[in-house]
A and B are shown apart, each in its own frame.
Chain A
Amino acid sequence: MAAEPISIVLAEDDDGHATLIQRNLQRSGVVNGIFRVKDGQEALELIRGEGSYSDQPSRGNVLLLLDINMPRVDGVEVLRRLKADPRTNAIPVIMLTTTDDPREIERCYQLGCSVYVTKPVEYSDFIDAINRLGLFLQVVRVPYSGPAA
């Protein structure tokens, strides 16, 4: 069965960060579609096909890049809600944030995030991190477990 390449949902409130991540992902060879949302609420609505995205089908075949500090619903809460819902608990979630508080990281792993990446200030490290993400994205294939294909 030919697995369809998954699309990437980037939940990031900082426009600059979002732009840098998108540009560098593309530079590192990621060809998947990248869909950017500005906060956790929007990310949930997009994935579930609710609210402002109710005209679109819910998306299960995605990978979520999640910032922690966001307005309305923060990243940790989005992670918790996705993992609590059997329709969305298989979605790979990558936490991407400036926080390196060990308690926060521990909590995200306990909730079930796939990878935790600390945004380094040093640009080359940032690029390295994004490149590793790109590699990760190329190997990950997610069987879609949503309600309608």
Chain B
Amino acid sequence: MNLSIVKKGLILAAIPFFTQLVFLAMLFKMRQDQLQAQELAIHGKDVVVQTEGAFRRIMEARSAVFSLALTGDPVFVSLWEKSRNEAPAQLRTLRTLLRDDPPQQTRIDQITQQTEEALTRLGAIVQSARQPRTRSEAVAALGEPWVLRFVDDLRVQVNEFLGEEARLGSERQRRLERVREEETWTLIGGAGLTLLSTILLALAFQRSISGRLNVLMENVRHLALGEQLATPLGGRDELGKLDQVFHEMADTLVEKNRENEMFVYSVSHDLRSPLVNLQGFSQELALVFRDLHRIVMESNVPASVRQRVTDLLDRDANESIQFIQTAVRRLATIIDALLRLSRVGRVVYDWQQVDVRATVQRVVTALGNTIDERGARVVVGELPPAWGDPTAIEQIFANLVSNALNYLDPARPGVIEVGSQEDRQNDDKRIYYVKDNGLGIDADHLPKVFLAFQRLHPTVAPGEGIGLPLVRRMVERHGGRIWVESEVGQGSTFFVSLPAQPREGATNAPAWSAAARDGSGSGLTEGGETNTWQQSRSA
């Protein structure tokens, strides 16, 4: 999906919104249907009431006529008139009630017509019944068969009409029930649809946002550890762009890092060239002075002159040369330290399971002479295996142990302990430590111990101050951490965390180490406190 996160978010919000809108519309429609059905049911009842009312009025009118004819009491005239007027009125009302039902309306029209005919004829009988002399005619007229029959005919028709109305009523009732049932199913379906769309959207969100965010976070972690990044995320949304920028940044960093190391490397080499001249020609001068000294001693110059010349040569000239050569040596060791620092980042690591205990035993054996000289004791505890480069891990422990040896307190017998402990925060890491009872490090100096060219005890042991920086670089390239706890006069403990298992994404070719492995030297005390670089090379 090539949508921006904002658009995806809008879709996420819009889909449930529209689902619910449709659902609401359906509910509204059903409510309407139901109301209509109810209205119709009520309407049906009205029709029945009206019909029966009208029929009753007709019967009342007929009764009034009979009573009038038999008694001649004028009260029945008013009763007749009342019923006679009300019956058609009720039928008209009924007709309007049935305006949406033409077949029933037709039936009512017939009933109305017959009623009107009958009432007209009854009206004539009423006229004769009002006069005493014609009352007997009226009584006779009432004995005619149509007077009884029209009521029966009317009743049949009314019953038919009411039967039809009852049928319509039950039909309406069924429709109402159906509408209610539909409503129930719509409610269930709507709830299901909402649930389903929520689940689908959650999945889509997981796939399109969360999953990719996780990849991005993994990439950040890989970069922090100097590992290869995962393949770029697809998509053109903000996350895709962020990941793309992140990849570019990582590439730039890797490139800068390599440039930086190449720069240090080539500058160091360029600095070596003039040093060869400085050292060489100062030595040449020394040879010249030696020859001069010999010539002066062998020649017949006055003793005072000879004395002055030899003094100048032996004292001033030699002293000058000594200073020049000391300075050159110092420069050479610094340049060499820079070269080694730059090399630590460039060598290709050979990742494998490393037997740390055997490695530390080898280191202790190799340092045997120094350990004996210092009268120290090295205790090697349980050391579980680690995942890393065997040479680098050996260099790490060699540096830490020889450091501990160098800074022992002459006032007490030195004890150095190499051990391990569980990493409580990280299951996939192991913590190793090198603990000594030496001089210790002042709290002010602690932050500086892992920085290059910082020498805390320059008088205690020689060196250029890159041992611990080298160790730090190597530990960091393993994705580990190094830290120190120390107390002056009590000793120091250096902790190193190293991976216990192969890391995901850890390849044999770390991002910026395109250089071939430098095989020079045994690696023991690489960056240690003795200047051994010339011996590691042969012509």
On A, residues with C-beta under 8 Å from B are 14, 16-17, 20, 23, 69, 98-103, 106, 115-123, 125-126, 128-129, 132-133
Contact = CB atoms under 8 A, between A and B. Distances in A.
A122 B331 CA distance: 11
Nearest to B535: A125
Contacts of A116: 539
B410 interface: no
A117 B534 CA distance: 12
A14 B534 contact: no
A23 B284 CA distance: 9
Contacts of A123: 279-280, 282-283
B276 A129 contact: no
Contacts, number: 71
A121 B279 contact: yes
Contacts of B280: 16-17, 20, 123, 126
Contacts of A16: 274, 276-277, 280-281
Given A102-B516, A121-B329, 8 more contacts: A69-B273, A102-B517, A118-B537, A120-B537, A121-B275, A121-B332, A122-B329, A123-B282
B286 to A, nearest CB: 9
16 contacts: A14-B273, A16-B281, A20-B276, A118-B537, A118-B539, A120-B534, A121-B276, A121-B328, A121-B332, A123-B279, A123-B280, A123-B283, A126-B276, A126-B280, A128-B539, A129-B539
Contacts of A106: 516
Given A20-B280, A103-B516, A126-B280, A98 B273 contact: yes
Interface string B508-520: 0000000111111
- The interface residues of chain B, by DSSP majority, are classed as helix
B265 A17 contact: no
A102 B483 CA distance: 33
| Pairs of residues from A and B, 9 with the lowest C-beta to C-beta distance, nearest first | A16-B277, A20-B280, A123-B283, A98-B272, A117-B539, A121-B332, A129-B539, A121-B275, A123-B279
B272 A121 contact: yes
Contacts of A129: 539
Question: Which one of B276, B277, B519 has the greatest number of beta carbons of chain A within 10 Å?
Answer: B276
B293 to A, nearest CB: 18
B269 interface: yes
A142 to B, nearest CB: 20
Contact of A98 (B269, B282, B517): B269
A122 B518 contact: no
B279 A99 contact: no
A100 B539 CA distance: 11
Contacts of A20: 276-277, 280-281, 284
B518 A102 contact: yes
A118 B329 CA distance: 17
A102 B519 contact: yes
Given A102-B516, A120-B534, A14 B283 contact: no
Nearest to B273: A98
Given A16-B280, A20-B276, A117-B539, A122 B534 contact: yes
A78 B378 CA distance: 54
